[in-house]
Structure 1
Amino acid sequence: MTQPTHRKAAADLRSARWFGDHGLRSFGHRSRAFQMGHSPEDWASKPVIAILNTWSEISPCHVHLRDRAADVKRGILMAGGFPIELPALSLAEIFVKPTTMLYRNMLAMEVEELIRSHPVDGVVLMGGCDKTTPGLMLGATSMDVPAIYVPAGPMLRGNWAGKTLGSGSDSFKYWEELRAGTITEEDWQGVEAGIARSHGTCMTMGTASTMTAIAEAVGMSLPGASSIPAADSGHMRMCAASGRRIVEMVWEDLKPSRIQTRAAFLNAIVVAMAMGCSTNAIIHLIAMARRAGQDIGLEDFERASRTVPVIGNVRPSGTQYLMEDFFYAGGIRALMVEIAAFLDLSCITCTGKTLGENIAGAKVYNADVIRPVSNPIYAEGSLAVLKGNLAPDGCVIKPAAMDARFLKHSGPALVFDDYASLKKAVDDETLDITPDHVLVLRNAGPQGGPGMPEWGMLPMPKKLLKQGHRDMLRLSDARMSGTSYGACVLHVAPESFVGGPLALLRTGDIVAIDVDARSIRMEVSDEEIARRRAAWVPPSPRYERGYGFAFSKHIEQADQGCDFDFLRTDFGAPVEEPAIY
């Protein structure tokens, strides 16, 4: 175990700048604390711990976090800390339009400023829904005070007509069956009522469970925390334990900068690949690593993709199981034991122990849910990065969750400039399209979407569904839900809205991909591409004012993590206000 180099003294606490001075400003801080019923026994010589809670009444993933915050407070008080709960932007994936990705960086900025502006010595980050994990961690990383992440946990498995339902994945599946005419409206309503039957995040291996696993793999959550179901009593105990641990982290001065090393992020990539992760993992992990000053890029994912097998048998990459099954099969600790040969087990974590110490003794209790490396779900990693004249800066596909016949494919493009036009066309049963066509959507990237919505699992044309087809090659500069599946090429960079080559593709052009060769291209001559570029006219900006305007001016492309350019570490360290103020 790596021991802390020193133990912080009470006078060194950041909160002492607010409460410890004898001047007028500290008088004001203390008197207002008295106003709220507190006394010096609450704050004197104790770490002040902020609980940043993304609970809201329109966030089903987080609806239990109001109660769980009480468990965190109980742990903080037991360990001798002073808890204060602060609300943070909730980002309910299922309700926010046009996409929560538009607001991930807003949450990150809010977290950074909440910590900066308050008497905070350490922070507990409470989230779980897709963008809340990276948003919370981005902000806490930039401020670099001791921090621990508390994941909301996956919901219980869904049920309809004796069938187990997985959120997202089965929504898409049965929607296609409804459009194909193989199920009734009454069936569809039964799926709707049964697919989400408890609080918590998606119970498939979507973006939520991917990102909470990544938080744990990086070392920012307690061992095993990421896969505990939200409704399990163990989740309450984990919350209290996190509260106790953050107090000790403050005294140890164990900051994100000590935990979030390049090796830790490489561990996270390995874990993500082995779990059959969401494609969104690439964007968020790159952003998180770069905030920590670590140079992580698409090439790191590509290296892991070639060597790390998918062993987490959880939908949509897996065949039948859900996160509840994964937890009871041994959870993330057991999975990491299976892939230990790919991990740097010496990395320090929020426990003060190494990753190797954290996973020691973990066992697999169901070898079909968590497969051995010798019997994987998919021999290579979950994701693959493709490059070529359509995506010079890269794009992403999820070969573990698609029809294998499209791994090497070429066909004529059918191009749409907006989602509304595409949606109308695919419902037209007279549409001139075959299974060999490549369905293309553009202007759906970071600026074009705006915010890079999860439109990338382009809907299958009704004509093909009725012919019995359930997959085809689809291409866009959008993202897709981690619960999605199919031969969907995503995150094309640069995006079409800013003049990336996708903007120059025309209906009828041949698009060719070869996943094994990691290539994607349009079969158009360089001379013709140059002629089209000369004639290309940039579209009008999406926003003329407000946050959207700032977003459009400063958002980076998908291959760079979609962070704001002015939040990069090369812009300098976060500013602390003078203590005298």
Structure 2
Amino acid sequence: MSWRSRKILEKPDWSFNRSVFKTVGYSDNDLDRPIIGIANAWSDLVPGHENLRKVADFVRKGIYRAGGSVAEFGVIGACDGTAQGHAGMHFILPSRDLIANDVEVMVEAHRLDGIVLLGSCDKIVPGMLMAAARLSVPAIFLPGGPMLGGTEFDGRKSDLTTMSEGLGMLKSKRIDEPTYNRLEETCGPCSGSCAFYGTANTMCCLAEAMGMSLPGAALVPAVYAERFRLAEATGKAIVDLVVQSDFRQIITRQSLENAVRVLMATGGSTNAVLHLSAIAAEIGIDADAMMRIYARFSENTPQIAKVNPASKYDMEDFYLAGGIPRVMNEMRSLLNLDSLTVSGRTVAENLGPELGASPRGTEIISTIEKPFSKLKGLAILRGNLAPDTGVTKPAAIDPAMHVFTGTAKVFNSEEEAEKAILGGLIQEGDVVVIRYEGPKGGPGMREMYKAMKYLYGMGLAKKTALITDGRFSGTNNGCFVGHISPEAAEGGPIAVVEDGDKIVIDIPNNALRLCVDDAVLAERFKSWRKPEPKFTKGYLGLYSRLASSADKGAVMALK
């Protein structure tokens, strides 16, 4: 059997390379096996990655039992939660490109035969999947699993975002300080990716949907022993893929379409639009093609799963209800069933016969015949305020607010808006406009997570709206539109919105309108000037120069 690492490990011409491996303990027997990398984003800083050392141990066991040798290396992974609401958030989205580049460099420089990708959180998952799409070697993604929910608060199990909602409640005197302080101890009871259906868990679910993880891998909680059995099975599966002589790329247009279907059917994070577009770009699918897929599928994919923030149920509940395998079984008529997966089988073969009744009933996962909603789980909006699209999430918006008309209150940064919200300056009927937070203008397209949570805590979530050229957390709810393109820093219409302008959000008609005459907008643009970049040095300086627009995935574009 021959695999690519053999070409740099054959005696006698490549004995130097063999000696390098032997300095760290590899034996001749080890070097006769395929060399399988483990890209591990473990750290003490990220709850979703804290358990990845132990997960990696079980992956190692599976690799070695299946006849491979292990080469583990570290990958950066920053925590969105810790970075929220301050300058650190500028670095979060740009870290995605670094992660993809790092994995590519390590796999190619060392001629690894296959790679297992260990990560669970927001930008780490898509960065790893971008690398997998870019590389021509077998790859499997394995998350560390979601954490369990916390103590009950405000009618549902709490989670880490409850702290931000609670702050708004505290400021508006809806709860007292001792109650707020108790939440700090009980809202996150263990490690794992956050307990809600935010970007982290959405991307783990979509990795499974596109066939890049073994069936069921997305939602087994981090503290369940099944997580470690899955890790060992993943180690075996990657060796099986490497020794196959007919390995084919798993990430294809068809598998990405399956991921988009599952995204729509489950009402996942709006950030997934950015990330799937970035992954698609790695295999040559352009932004316009992906936007057409999102728009088309949003019109004919019913929502059959409802999880926090769309309901009170968390990720453990979603897992116990059958998770992504059940969702895909329920919607099999909409999927590309012949797409190959990392199990070595097709989607149809993985799903097997149709399942019986859900073990948790239909309150979490319904059927395609009786969906929670026939409307789109995510929606792509266009209009004179978003000529190149904006993204919203009807699944997390009260149906009564799917059409919202309000008055603009304009802010040029996240911090300005948050200060105004907590200061009581936002009133019923306002549309909070936060601009200069896009990929270039931010830079890094920060999440307006806290602003939305503060509106919720102040009792304004169903009375106001928020639009931005930045992003939102997957756990946000209320009426919101993000990813507005072109962004303000590139001269998009959002740059010349003024306080008092009327704005219409019309989700049923996929529209976002600024009710200002074209002639008035043209006059405003005469006095508009492109802002100076906020960062001119370091990685953010580079990213702000090269970042593409949100509708193109906010990837670093070289041309």
TM-score of the superposition, structure 2-length normalised? 0.94
> 1:258 and 2:261 equivalent?
no
**1:67, CA displacement in angstroms?**
1.0
**1:469, CA displacement in angstroms?**
6.2
**Partners in 2 of 1:277 and 1:27 — Cα distance?**
50
> 1:195 and 2:187 equivalent?
yes
1:61 match: 48
**Partners in 2 of 1:167 and 1:450 — Cα distance?**
28
**1:478, CA displacement in angstroms?**
1.0
Cα RMSD after superposing both structures: 2.0
Q: How does 1:159-558 map to 2 (within 5 A)?
A: 159-160=151-152, 164-253=156-245, 258-295=249-286, 296-317=289-310, 319-361=311-353, 362-363=355-356, 364-366=358-360, 367-429=362-424, 431=425, 433-455=426-448, 458-459=451-452, 470-558=462-550
Judge conservation of contact 1:384–1:396 (CA < 8 Å) in 2. Answer: yes
**Partners in 1 of 2:207 and 2:136 — Cα distance?**
15
**CA 375–42 in structure 1, closer or farther in 2 if over 3 Å, else same:** same
1:146 match: 138
**1:47, CA displacement in angstroms?**
0.7
**Partners in 1 of 2:402 and 2:203 — Cα distance?**
26
**Partners in 1 of 2:40 and 2:79 — Cα distance?**
13
Letter in 1 for 2:31: W
**Partners in 2 of 1:194 and 1:280 — Cα distance?**
27
Letter in 1 for 2:63: I
**1:374, CA displacement in angstroms?**
3.1
**1:427, CA displacement in angstroms?**
2.4
2:110 match: 118
Judge conservation of contact 1:457–1:488 (CA < 8 Å) in 2. Answer: no
**1:187, CA displacement in angstroms?**
0.9
**1:465, CA displacement in angstroms?**
6.5
Per-residue deviation, residues 465-486 of structure 1 (Å, max 9, x unmatched) = 6677654111111111111111
Q: How does 1:87-126 map to 2 (within 5 A)?
A: 87-96=74-83, 97-99=88-90, 100-126=92-118
The ranges of structure 1 where at least 4 consecutive aligned residues each deviate by more than 4 angstroms after the TM superposition are 160-164, 459-462, 464-471
**1:102, CA displacement in angstroms?**
2.2
**Partners in 2 of 1:468 and 1:507 — Cα distance?**
19
**CA 252–231 in structure 1, closer or farther in 2 if over 3 Å, else same:** same
**1:170, CA displacement in angstroms?**
3.0
**1:137, CA displacement in angstroms?**
1.1
Secondary structure of the residue that 2:437 maps to in structure 1?
A: coil
Letter in 1 for 2:16: G
Judge conservation of contact 2:38–2:70 (CA < 8 Å) in 1. Answer: yes
Letter in 1 for 2:61: R
**Partners in 2 of 1:471 and 1:151 — Cα distance?**
37
Secondary structure of the residue that 2:115 maps to in structure 1?
A: strand
**1:456, CA displacement in angstroms?**
5.5
**1:554, CA displacement in angstroms?**
1.2
Judge conservation of contact 2:421–2:451 (CA < 8 Å) in 1. Answer: no
2:19 match: 31
Unaligned runs of 5+ in 2: none
Unaligned runs of 5+ in 1: 1-8, 572-581
Structure 1 residues 138-147 or 167-176, which shifts more?
Answer: 167-176
**CA 460–365 in structure 1, closer or farther in 2 if over 3 Å, else same:** closer
Structure 1 residues 74-83 or 435-444, which shifts more?
Answer: 435-444
Aligned length: 549
1:578 match: none
Letter in 2 for 1:385: I
**Partners in 2 of 1:213 and 1:483 — Cα distance?**
15
**1:428, CA displacement in angstroms?**
2.4
Secondary structure of the residue that 2:151 maps to in structure 1?
A: strand
2:64 match: 77
Secondary structure of the residue that 1:84 maps to in structure 2?
A: strand
Secondary structure of the residue that 1:227 maps to in structure 2?
A: coil
**1:61, CA displacement in angstroms?**
0.7
1:5 match: none
> 1:19 and 2:6 equivalent?
no
**Partners in 2 of 1:460 and 1:78 — Cα distance?**
48
Judge conservation of contact 1:47–1:250 (CA < 8 Å) in 2. Answer: yes
